[in-house]
Amino acid sequence: MDKGLYETSITSNIEISPGVHVISFEKRHGFISGQVIKIALSYEHLPRIYSICNGTQDNEVNILFNIKEEGYLTPKLSSIPEGGKILVSKPSGSFVAGNESTWMIATGTGIAPFFSMLDSGVIACKKLIHGVSYLNQFYFGTEIRKKLGENYICCCSREQGEGIFHGRVTSYIKGQANLPKHFKYYLCGKALMVVEVRDLLISKGVPYENILAEIYF
């Protein structure tokens, strides 16, 4: 039983893309963008972790998740209506960015902590590379484009679109002749993407000390 959880009500639950939801609930504790919270539906089950995906100035906490058909929590969480109860924890975690020049690299819902950073005003010297399978998975794309302009790179592996790099994030990075070695590289998403991108960056001369990853295990 996780004693650090408290009950709260969902204030909205929106399906922003097929099988992908953003749920919101009241903010009781301040957070730093990039942090995570734990969510459970009962004290008996181990909670799952989610990145907060909105700005620190908001009065609510938002999380972005995709439904894992065979999973325990996400199918249930996706069908909880406004007013429904969930258990959440205080924010925690240290995947937080500062003012340094940074490349943010995400796949799928791994965009969440980066959108929180951008939405909180952590924008200067940031470049964001988002890899997805289909065009409708560029979550928060319009808002990010407004904030980052050309420093927002969209990579789509299974569909083509205007201004979109056709291929995986690894292909995009492979194609970059000179990676800035003193920049920070923040990676977020599934394990295989993180280890592949990390190996690639290291092989291109980026010191491993400049690479920080959050894996959605």
Partner 1 sequence: MEGKREVLFGKTLTELQQIAAKHGWQKFVAKQIAEWLYKKKLISINDMTNLSKNTRQVLKETYGLGINPFSKVQESVDGTKKYLFATHGNNFIETAMIPENDRKTVCVSSQVGCKMGCLFCMTGKQGFQSNLTAGEIINQIKSIEEREEVTNIVYMGMGEPFDNLEEVLKSLEILTSGWGFSMSPKRITVSSIGIIPGMLAFLEKSNTHLAISLHTPFDEERKNLMPVEVAYPIKEVVKEIKAWDFGRQRRISFEYIMFKGVNDSPKHVKELARLLNGLRCRLNLIRFHPIPGTPLIGTDEETIQEFKDSLNKKGVFTTIRASRGQDIYAACGLLSTKELVKNR
Contact positions toward ligand FAD, by CB under 6 A? 36, 48-51, 63-66, 68, 70-74, 109, 112, 214, 216-217
Q: Which does 26 bind (CB under 5 to 8 A by kind): partner 1, ligand FAD, none?
A: none
* ∠ Cα 148 151 157 (to 5°): 115
Packing angle, helices 112-119 and 141-148, rounded to 10? 50
Q: Which does 117 bind (CB under 5 to 8 A by kind): partner 1, ligand FAD, none?
A: none
Cβ 75 to ligand FAD shortest distance, Å: 7
Tokens of 95: 């995947």
Q: Phi and psi at residue 106, in whole multiples of 5°?
A: -135, 155
Cβ 27 to ligand FAD shortest distance, Å: 16
Q: What residues contact 64, with CB distance under 8 A and at least 6 apart?
A: 16, 20, 21, 22, 50, 51, 53, 109, 111, 112, 115, 139
Tokens of 174: 């492979």
Q: Which does 68 bind (CB under 5 to 8 A by kind): ligand FAD, partner 1, none?
A: ligand FAD
Please report, to the nearest 10 degrees, the dihedral formed by the alpha carbons of residues 61, 5, 90, 209 taken in order.
-110
Q: Which does 212 bind (CB under 5 to 8 A by kind): ligand FAD, partner 1, none?
A: partner 1
Cβ 162 to partner 1 shortest distance, Å: 32
User: Under the rule (CB under 8 A), what is the footprint of partner 1?
Assistant: 2, 36, 38, 46-47, 49, 92-95, 190-192, 194-195, 198-199, 202-203, 207-209, 211-215, 217
